[in-house]
Amino acid sequence: MSDHEFGGNDDLSLPKATVQKIVSEILSGSSGIAFSKEARDVLIECCVEFITLISSEANEISEKEAKKTIACDHIVKALDQLGFPDYVPAVLEAAAEHKEVQKGREKKANKLEQSGLTLEELERLQQEQFAAAAARHN
């Protein structure tokens, strides 16, 4: 949607620092084991491959359902079909969580209604503040 798709230089791999961070988070429980750089790079490639695999499978599924947009549901089905049914519950959970967060955001965004003032009142308030600021400045 809002992202500039295939914009010039940005690479289609995952940010190394992020991957490294996640890896060390995963390994935080097992003290002392680290990931070599080569392994991390391979891991990144594997991750990209994983995304590609999932998304193309999901794309196929969505096409079969005559949908133009790949939805969460398709990802879930793709995971199921590709031998990762274990991931499904967590994925659903994450999606639901995200939905909740979105809802919260929408509520927050609606400041106008929360203020309880009419547009005229707000405008007047703004003008007052402008005037006050100008007076202070001069």
Partner 1 sequence: MSGDGSYAPKSPDLSSFYSAGPTPPAEPAEVPRQQELLSQSSHSNFSHLQQSASSTYSPAGAYYQQQAHAPQQEDRQHYGYKYQLATPPQTLSQARSTNSYPHSSQAPPPAGFGVGEGYSPTAQHKDCLPRAQSHPGPGHAQPGTRYADTQAPPHPPQSAAYQPPYRGSFQYQYQQTQTAHPQIPAPTFHPLTAAQAQVRESYEYPIPSAPPPSQQPESTMPPRRAAAAAAAAALASQAAGSEASTDASAGLSSSSSTITAAAAAGATTTIEPGPVKTKFPTARIKRIMQADEEVGKVAQQTPIAVGKALELFMVALVTRSAELARQRNSKRVSAQMLRQVVEADEQWDFLTDIVAKVENEEKSGKGGGGGSSSNKVKAESDSDEDGAGDGVSGGASGGKRKRGAGGGRKKKV
Q: Name residues contacting partner 1, limited to 83-102 (CB under 8 A).
A: 83-84, 86-87, 89-95, 98-99, 102
Distance of CA 105 to the CA centre of its chain: 14
Rounded to whole angstroms, the Cα distance separating 94 from 73 reads: 13
For position 66 contacting partner 1 by CB under 8 A, the verdict is no
Q: Which is nearer to partner 1, 34 or 133 (CB)?
A: 34
Task: Out of 64, 65, 76, 126, point to the residue binding partner 1 (CB under 8 A).
Answer: 76
Angle at 108 between CA 102 and CA 114, to 5 degrees: 145
Helix (H, G, I), strand (E, B) or coil at 84: coil
Rounded to whole angstroms, the Cα distance separating 14 from 77 reads: 24
Binding part of the chain for partner 1, among 19-27, 108-116, 122-130 by CB under 8 A, reads 19-27
Work out how close the CB of 62 gets to partner 1 at its nearest, in angstroms, rounded to a whole number.
Answer: 8
Task: Out of 66, 69, 116, 138, point to the residue binding partner 1 (CB under 8 A).
Answer: 69
- Segment (H or E) for 121: helix 119-137
Contact, 29 vs 62, CB < 8 A? no
For position 5 contacting partner 1 by CB under 8 A, the verdict is yes
For position 41 contacting partner 1 by CB under 8 A, the verdict is yes
For position 81 contacting partner 1 by CB under 8 A, the verdict is yes
